[in-house]
A = this chain, B = another copy of it.
Amino acid sequence: MRIPIDRNSEIPLYRQIEQYFRQAILSGSLTAQTRLPASRTLAHDLGVNRITIETAYGELEADGLVYTHPGSGVYVLPMPAQPARQPAPIDALWPLWQQELALQPAEASPRVPAASPGCIDFSPGGGASDLFPVEEFRKVLQNILRREGNAALEYGDPCGYVPLRATIAQVLASQGLQTSPDNVLITSGSQQAIALVCQTLLRPGDCILVEAPTYASGLELFHGLGLKVIGVPLDENGLQMDALETALQQHHPRLIYTIPNFHNPTGVCLSAARRRTLLELSRRHNAAVLEDDFVGDLRYEGRALPTLKSLDPGGQVIYVSTFSKMLMPGLRVGFMVADGPALERLARLKRTTDLATSSFIQRALENYVTIGRYQAHLRRSCLLYRRRRDAALQAVRRWLPEQTRWTAPQGGLFLWLRLPPGMDSARLLPLALSAGVSFAPGRSFFADGCSGAEALRLNFTLLPPEQIDEGIQRLARALDQLSRSD
């Protein structure tokens, strides 16, 4: 045990040792029934006389903090519940570098308040996790640990478990994107993939183009990396090409981040013609394209649109996706597809950033995911989500004020609502929470932090139709309240 003791201090050693334990016990760091080290061992560890330790322990015992179990050792006694379990406030001023850090502007991310029990929550960003067959997955984990034992818990290939990369290449081929396992890089969720791409291609101060609105956690990342974030507006056919061209000319971005399929938060898709234009513009202006295809296959109707990556034979596009939305978010396994020098750089940064994503989870996923299983899961999800989307559309038509606007999404997870003129979704939220419904307010999806006040995002995939209907009714009541308070 490595208690800090100071031989030059005027405080006797036994007192220093006693104080360490006293503070740890009173603060709750050392819990009841924890056995203190044997006095002989601790004396040896610290290089002090055994009497010193015994004196310290004696003081603790006299004060009712520990008890001696004869022949067994010294144990921590239960403490009465402490009002303040926090450690004592630090007396010293922060070091200068900490003070400097505190002066840097911090993006205060507007967090949606936690929904209370009984609240109908349309705010999350993921799919319905109760679809995931956790019992099957449990059996898969069993088999892996039984069959492979400790080997399943070793470090893995930094680029990802090779059989899983092959499975991903097969799943992608069955979706219309042909690639090789060698071009697949496994990451800890697609969030890490996006972070790696930014860190590889951009430096602080560099410019990145995004849709306005776009994925809120993406914006947080871009701002956190010190990037200059330029939002380009979209309409019901996705990113507007004239605005994109102007932004490319004005800002010379090194990267375009886009969600062409069932865009987050609006649910729109980039049209087929615009896909080709986007690729051509990006090439002409020497900007890489980062395609986020987080739910690209969750289509309920309409024509399938090819991924940007499948239209790009030249290594212009880096494709990222994830198992989090289709399977379970807690797995934290995403992936990217890239080529050429970028692929090498990304693989190296992944390795140096966290060595590798958990090989155990990757093995489990590889064992669980087959094309057949994946496609069956996709079919089940599409069927269920489509019904929920229809219920949401019906409910907003039925319950919300006439001037509310929305685009009917052909797939994905989200409905993007625009409130009647003059209404602010951030002001609506507390009223909605009181009425027992929650959503993601529009402003958090805009790089400038002020657009989108009139908008909000609803995730329609999480709840059965009748609850969706009830939730929209509650939302309508909150809106009514807001309009009267104005």
Contact = CB atoms under 8 A, between A and B. Distances in A.
B191 A354 contact: yes
Contact of A315 (B5, B90, B132): B90
A117 interface: no
A404 interface: no
A311 B130 CA distance: 48
A286 interface: yes
Contact of A353 (B195, B226, B254): B195
A170 B34 contact: yes
Contacts of A154: 129, 328-330
Interface stretch (A136-144, A438-446, A451-459): A136-144
Contact of A330 (B91, B134, B155, B199): B155
Q: How many copies does the complex hold?
A: 2
Nearest to A307: B2
Chain B CB within 10 Å, residue with most, of A92, A203, A316, A360: A360
A92 B314 contact: yes
Contact of A126 (B155, B305, B345): B155
Given A129-B154, A360-B361, A98 B315 contact: yes
Interface in A147-165: 149-150, 152-156
Interface stretch (A59-67, A173-181, A236-244, A427-435): A173-181
Interface stretch (A21-29, A393-401, A417-425, A465-473): A21-29
Contacts of A34: 170, 174, 371
Contacts of A203: 204, 226
A387 interface: no
Interface string A249-269: 000001000000000000000
Interface in A363-384: 371-372
Contact of A129 (B1, B153, B192, B329): B153
Contact of A340 (B102, B138, B178, B371): B102
Contacts of A27: 178, 180
B342 A195 contact: no
Given A2-B306, A99-B341, 13 more contacts: A1-B174, A1-B175, A2-B304, A29-B179, A47-B303, A90-B340, A101-B341, A132-B150, A153-B329, A153-B330, A156-B330, A203-B226, A224-B352
22 contacts: A2-B176, A2-B296, A23-B178, A24-B173, A29-B169, A29-B170, A29-B179, A34-B371, A92-B313, A94-B315, A95-B314, A95-B316, A97-B288, A129-B154, A134-B149, A138-B146, A189-B355, A203-B226, A220-B352, A224-B348, A331-B360, A332-B357
Interface of A: 1-5, 7, 20, 23-24, 27, 29-31, 34-35, 44-47, 85-87, 90-99, 101-102, 104, 106-107, 109, 126, 129-130, 132, 134-135, 137-138, 141-142, 145-146, 149-150, 152-156, 169-170, 172-180, 182-183, 187-189, 191-192, 195, 199-201, 203-204, 217, 220-221, 224, 226, 254, 272, 283, 286-288, 296-297, 299, 303-307, 310-311, 313-316, 328-332, 339-342, 344-345, 348-349, 351-361, 371-372
